[in-house]
Chains A and B, each alone.
Chain A
Amino acid sequence: MTERNIIELIDVKKVFDDETIAVDNFNLQVKKGEFVTFLGPSGCGKTTTLRMIAGFDLPTSGKILLNGEDISRLPPNKRPVNTVFQKYALFPHLNVYENIAFGLRLKRVRNTYKNEAGDTYVKKERLTKKEIDKKVKKALEMVDLEGFEKRGVHTLSGGQQQRVAIARAIVNEPEILLLDEPLGALDLKMRKEMQIELKNMHRRLGITFIYVTHDQEEALTMSDKIVVINDGDIQQIGTPTEIYNEPINTFVADFIGESNIFNGAVVDKFKVRFCGATFECVDDFETNQLVDVVVRPEDIIICKPGEGQLKGEVISTVFKGVHYEITVEVGRFEIVIQSTAYAEPGSTIGMRIEPDGIHLMKPVYTINRFEGVITKNNTVEFGDGEFDCDVTKLYPGSHLDEDGYLITASGEKLDLTGVVVNVEVDTHDITMSDDKDEGGAAGTIISMIYKGDHYRYIVRTEENEEDYVLSCPDMWNTDDYVSLVIPKDKIKMTLKAPAEND
């Protein structure tokens, strides 16, 4: 493998219909021969990015470089990349052979000849029938479909169609092979087989693979490099081990593998406190820093009660084949353990976590910050909503007169309508309600992450896609439409700029 970047995405951004941002600020370098996976939930922008590399969508801004050359405006037929489509997209009017030969028949290659005078000249020529035949046969061999040449594509099973789609792409010897969730339609066993075959094919061909999936296990199994994407943004780029062992934030930790996520605080150098106990850890954070703590279920070791840092009661034990999944209640926290040892439900066990089993992350959200405007009713508008607030807090010692004007401590009368303020709300001060009119704003739950004793939710409003982050012990569902209630005294406001008549 050379160290050359075969493809490079620089500040790529894609906006649909002038408003929906599908991909934002996408920067990525892929080396020749790498197996790169775009991993993320559906609708995160991974397929859009792939389509921009293939040329089906043009980036709104930013550049895509192939071997250092800008290809972001080239049509798909001019790019040396081939795609394996999600639903195969085989040509129904052609048989297997013709499907695979499709690209070859269009190809022109440069052949060098010598004329009688001995000068060499280059002629662009189509491939001969023989050459095409040879290449198609080889591709069919590669995907184990010898003898299927004359078959119509509709007579093939899903797995066979998939193989034809792969053969049709690799037969053109592209510089990059793009695969858009190619195994999504196959059953589990078939999928596992194809994963291994694809990986082998990648090794044999030496072509760069860019693979899109929402299946974290698939990504971990196959990739050299994983790009975790959420909401149009790259969350983390790294090797499967890095992504699994050192997730950069709670999204990555939660999306990849099973995990216990807790709120914690660094109490001393290499010492972190969570779940009511203090643990030694290997991540270096400043003392008193609030952190998100990730502990993988397999990193919790069951021991005798009294030994280890934690003690709790086993709530349930489920046999999962290779291991037991044991849920333990420790005080008000719930911890999931994967262990080959059995633990009797109802019994009390001790738990030990080694320092390298604890991963600390800087919390992304601790407080909600908005810019708000005071209305003429002395409420405040922010984050696509309107909330009751106490405007007298803006000016110490002030009060409201009966007309709603603010009288400052020095007796000055102020009209606050239109004043811009900074608003801060703690995550645990927002509550959700089913009643659409109860809260000042409303939105859809786009993310929920369990943190041992509570859930962390992100609620996004419809109009301007403002995000509210909140903690709540009750379980709601993703995509629930909720209204957001914030008590008057929990909205902390400060003046943005000195008011004109101050």
Chain B
Amino acid sequence: MKLRFNRKQLCIPYAAFLILFVIAPLFVILYYAFTNGEGQFTFDNLVSFFSSTNTIGTLIYSFALAITTTAVCIVIAYPTAYILARSNFKKKYVLLLLFIMPMWINFTLRITALKEILTAIEGNIAAYPFLNSVIGMTYDFLPFMILPLYTSLLKLDKNLMEAAQDLGASKIRVFLRVTLPLSVPGIISGITMVLLPSMTNYVVLDMLYNSTYIMGSLIGSYFNAYDWNNGSMISLILLVIIFFVTLITNRFSDKDDNGGREVIL
């Protein structure tokens, strides 16, 4: 017997998954964020987040860490992706693999290895918490910056560079006026994939003995203390931040495409 589905039936599993694992939890978070321990509606959680210097400090520190990490990632990833995508270098696929391969190794293992290396260099690694956290996060997230950049540079039409040069642009101007603007979608994809995770990934900090809290650790600590309400509120605030960052970045990369996101996800 041949099974036949129409389109509507085909979307049932997806819809069920979506409701069960995305929409329902979202409502649970919403519920907890705007209730107190007794289950009564309140704005206290929201007010307490923005009135405490502690939580605001954590938010700023998270941003600082995430922005630094993202910037370092771009600085390293752009030239790498450019060479990988545009050079005639014969072994470039091997090089690409070298950048991708760390993703195949467990991330705790990699950070542990990094910790040992940093200890060997710095001695007491707790002395440089911010620096070490940036190094750890960069190491962890670099492939997510390289891949979208690589794909967006790879599909750039070589004719466009030739056309620019033909119209009188020097190599540098060709880069600034054609290559760079056309790789913006890739940069944006890279930023969204690095900036947001690095605001929350507190495991790296923990493993590298950075005791400062970031957003992720804050949520973790509330949940560990069974304070679902404040934890949910911070999750919600983070969600709103993510929403706005995505909104802004999508405006930059508009319609055209979504860089290399499809390659990784």
Q: How many residues of A contact B (CB 8 A)?
A: 23
Q: B168 in the interface, Cβ–Cβ < 8 Å?
A: yes
Q: A236 in the interface, Cβ–Cβ < 8 Å?
A: no
Stretch binding the partner chain, chosen from B92-100, B154-162, B189-197 = B154-162
In B156-176, the 8 Å CB interface with A consists of 157, 159-160, 162-170, 173
Residue of B nearest to A102 (CB): B167
Per-position 1/0 for A197-224, Cβ under 8 A of B: 0000000000000000000000000000
Q: A168 in the interface, Cβ–Cβ < 8 Å?
A: yes
Bound Cα distance A482, B252 (Å): 57
Bound Cα distance A91, B156 (Å): 11
Bound Cα distance A54, B162 (Å): 10
Per-position 1/0 for A62-89, Cβ under 8 A of B: 0000000000000111000111010101
Q: A103 in the interface, Cβ–Cβ < 8 Å?
A: yes
Q: B125 in the interface, Cβ–Cβ < 8 Å?
A: no
Q: Is the CB of A54 within 8 A of B166?
A: yes
Q: Is the CB of A85 within 8 A of B165?
A: no
Q: Is the CB of A77 within 8 A of B165?
A: yes
A487 to nearest B CB, angstroms?
Answer: 47
Bound Cα distance A169, B168 (Å): 11
Per-position 1/0 for A350-390, Cβ under 8 A of B: 00000000000000000000000000000000000000000
Residue of B nearest to A92 (CB): B182
Contact-size category for B: 10 to 19
Q: Is the CB of B166 within 8 A of A83?
A: yes
Q: B71 in the interface, Cβ–Cβ < 8 Å?
A: no
Q: Is the CB of B162 within 8 A of A89?
A: yes
Give the tally of cross-chain contacts (CB within 8 A). 60
Q: Which residues of A contact B157 (CB under 8 A)?
A: 87, 89
Q: Is the CB of A85 within 8 A of B168?
A: no
Q: B181 in the interface, Cβ–Cβ < 8 Å?
A: yes
Q: B178 in the interface, Cβ–Cβ < 8 Å?
A: yes
Name A85's contact: one of B163, B169, B256 (CB within 8 Å): B163
Q: Is the CB of A106 within 8 A of B168?
A: yes
Bound Cα distance A103, B178 (Å): 13
Bound Cα distance A169, B163 (Å): 9
Q: Which residues of A contact B162 (CB under 8 A)?
A: 54, 56, 76, 83, 85, 89
Q: Which residues of A contact B166 (CB under 8 A)?
A: 54-56, 76-77, 81-83
Q: Which residues of A contact B173 (CB under 8 A)?
A: 106
Q: A129 in the interface, Cβ–Cβ < 8 Å?
A: no
Q: Which residues of B contact A81 (CB under 8 A)?
A: 166
Q: Is the CB of A89 within 8 A of B168?
A: no
Residue of A nearest to B174 (CB): A77
Q: Is the CB of A77 within 8 A of B163?
A: no
Q: Is the CB of A93 within 8 A of B159?
A: no
Bound Cα distance A40, B173 (Å): 35
Q: Is the CB of B163 within 8 A of A91?
A: yes
Q: A162 in the interface, Cβ–Cβ < 8 Å?
A: no
In A88-125, the 8 Å CB interface with B consists of 89-93, 102-103, 106-107
Residue of A nearest to B184 (CB): A93
B32 to nearest A CB, angstroms?
Answer: 45
Instruction: Name the residue in A54, A76, A168 with the highest tally of chain B Cβ atoms < 10 Å from its Cβ.
Output: A76
Q: A250 in the interface, Cβ–Cβ < 8 Å?
A: no
Bound Cα distance A55, B166 (Å): 8
Q: A172 in the interface, Cβ–Cβ < 8 Å?
A: yes
Q: Is the CB of B163 within 8 A of A75?
A: no
B152 to nearest A CB, angstroms?
Answer: 12
Given A87-B159, A102-B164, is A77 in contact with B170 using a C-beta cutoff of 8 Å?
yes
B95 to nearest A CB, angstroms?
Answer: 22
Measuring CB to CB, which residues of chain A are less than 8 angstroms from any residue of chain B? 54-56, 75-77, 81-83, 85, 87, 89-93, 102-103, 106-107, 168-169, 172
Given contacts A75-B165, A93-B182, A172-B168, 5 further A-B contacts (CB under 8 A): A56-B166, A77-B165, A83-B163, A83-B166, A106-B167
Give 14 CB contacts A-B under 8 Å: A54-B166, A56-B166, A76-B166, A77-B165, A82-B166, A83-B162, A83-B163, A83-B166, A85-B162, A85-B163, A89-B162, A91-B182, A102-B167, A103-B168
